[in-house]
Structure formats: structure tokens, C-alpha cells
Structure 1
Amino acid sequence: MSKFQPAAYSPFHILLHWIIAALILFQLIFGESIEGLKDALRDGSTPDTATAFMGNAHIWVGIAILALTVIRLLVRTVSGVPAPLPSSKPQELAAKGAHILLYLLMIGAPVTGLLAWYGGIHTAEEVHEVAKPLFIILIALHVLGALYHQLALKDGSLTRMVTSRARG
């Protein structure tokens, strides 16, 4: 990790955060569409245009999430991130654990999906299917934590991922 600790997240880091968040939301909403494509291909039939488009979109959006997450981790390593806001030890551990699990999912879900789709690895498919409920739980905790910090503690935590201006 970088020894440099900036006062605020960079605009690029913030942009990556929100693009990845939007792509994950897309996957959570439309991700089941891959099943229609898989079924059509398994049955030897030609999928309709919408099924083919949405199934392929699931694959390409997953690849984009993987690539952007790797870039985001590189940005964190090279540029550093702001220090966490002061909080209790349990809150710090919960936040750190949730972030680590989110990063693992942002890498693991696309990798297992690719292994399942292109490698035909059934175990990878089973692991991939667990990603959706885990993402939903972790995103809910992440959002609730951000709202708690912003609204109850009023420490500006949420603002840090909206603007690159350092708090004064």
C-alpha cells in the first residue's frame, strides 16, 4: 500500500467507485438474464435478440467490473486513500471487513462467472451464484454504514466519496 495518505479521495477514485457501483447494480437487477442464454445454448436453439444481448451484457459487465476493480486497487496502492474517520474499534473492524469482502466479491464473482461460462466448471458456477445474495447483504451494510456516519454521526463520511475536496 502507498505510504502517501491524501486528505481526500481523488476524482478518479470517486469515479471508479460510482461506475463500479452502477455496474454491480446492473448485474444484481439483470444478472439472471444469463440463464436464458445458457438454456438456449444448452438446448441447441438460437436465443432471441433480447436474451442474447442481455446474456452477453452480463458477461461484459462482469469483465468490466473485474477490470475496473483491478484499476481501483492499483489506484489505492499508488495514490493511497484518506485515513478512516475516527470511530470505535468494532466499527473500524466492521468497515474494514466489509470493504475487504466487497473487493473479494468484485474480483471473485467475475472470475468464477468466467470460469463457469467459458471453462464449464460447475463448482465455479455454484460459487458464482452465491455472490448475488452476498453482494446484496454487503451493499446494504455499506450503505447503512455510510448513512449512519453521514446522518447520525454527521462526520462527512458519505461526502468523502462524492467530492474530492478535503474537509477543513
Structure 2
Amino acid sequence: MKPGYSLIQIVLHWLVAALVLVQYQTGGSIGRTHDAVHAGLQPDPTDLLLHSVHNWSGMAIGGLMVLRLFLRWRSHGIVPDLKRESPTAAAARLLHLGFYAVLLGQAAIGFIASYVTFSIAPLHVFGANLILAMLVLHIGAAIIHAVMRDSVLIRILRPRG
């Protein structure tokens, strides 16, 4: 099989990336909405809308990540043989698997915080910060590959064929 990703894997990657950006743009509405309610005030209608967008986008990320995990398993397995890879390739695989775990966990924690108990919200904030740190590593690696002009970056831009 030619290295790279299928069109559906590429579309899912960029769709999840866009939804993660939505999460960071709408996340502040959660605190404002809850603060207003606890103060006995009516939350701002825009914050209520953004709160809803945040919740639904988070559930969409969870569902899309399950699909991505299935496609990854089907196309080239979940657990890499790290002993056979270079340290750089092993680090990249571990970061990618970490994204699957953290994004799925973040979706689950967000769902629980919204519909079961808000007491785990600090864990959700920690997850958001962890994702941000992982994104810095991921984007930094993408920039390095772009500067090196190797074939790594093109794999998530152009489907294998």
C-alpha cells in the first residue's frame, strides 16, 4: 500500500482540526453562561448559542474521532512497532495516538461535565491546555517538514492514489 492517507482520512483530519478551533473560540461562553446562572441572571443569548455550539461541536469531534480511530485501525493498525522506527517516527506516532486518546477523552469529559456533573470541568480545562500543547508540537513538526521539503506534510494534503 502506498504511504499516506485516504481522502476520507484527510477530510476527517481537517474537519476535526476546524472543530477544535471552534472549541477554542466558543469555550469561554461556558464559564460566562454558568456564572450568569449562578448569579441569578439571565445568560447572554449569544453566550447560550456559543455554549450550544461548543457542546455539539465537542460531540461531533468525539464521533469523528471514533471514525478516525476505526479507519486508522483498518488501514494500518493502531499500535506501532516502535522498535522498528526511527526515534522521530516513533515520537510522531506517539503524538498522533495521544491526539486520539486526548480528543476522545476530552469529548467524553465535556459530555459528562455538561450532562452529568459540572464538577469535572477543571479536568476538561486541563485537557484543553494539553491539546493546545500537543498542537504546538504537531504544527511545529509540520513546519519542520515543510522546510525540509520531505514527503511527510504532503501526505495529509494529497490522498494516496
- Name the TM-score class by shorter chain: 0.7 to 0.9
Unaligned segments of structure 1, at least 5 residues: none
Q: Offset of 1:6 from its aligned partner? A: 4.7
CA distance in 1, matches of 2:28, 2:98: 22
Q: CA deviation at 1:121?
A: 4.8
For residue 53 of structure 1, report the CA deviation from its aligned partner: 0.1
- In 2, Cα distance between equivalents of 1:48 and 1:127: 25
TM-score (norm 1): 0.83
Task: Report how many aligned residue pairs link the two structures.
Answer: 156
Q: Which residue of 2 aligns with 1:32?
A: 28
Output the aligned Cα RMSD.
2.1
Question: What TM-score comes out, normalization by structure 2 length?
Answer: 0.86
Q: Which residue of 1 aligns with 2:153?
A: 158
Q: 2:9 aligned to 13, 23, 29, which one? A: 13
CA distance in 2: counterparts of 1:40 and 1:17, whole angstroms: 35
Q: Contact 1:35–1:55 (CA<8 Å) still a contact in 2?
A: no
The separation in 2 between residues aligned to 1:99 and 1:7, in whole angstroms, is 16
Aligned-pair identity (%): 32
Q: Show structure 2 runs of 5+ residues with no match.
A: none
Q: Is the 8 A contact 1:149 1:157 kept in 2?
A: yes
Letter aligned with residue 157 of structure 1: V
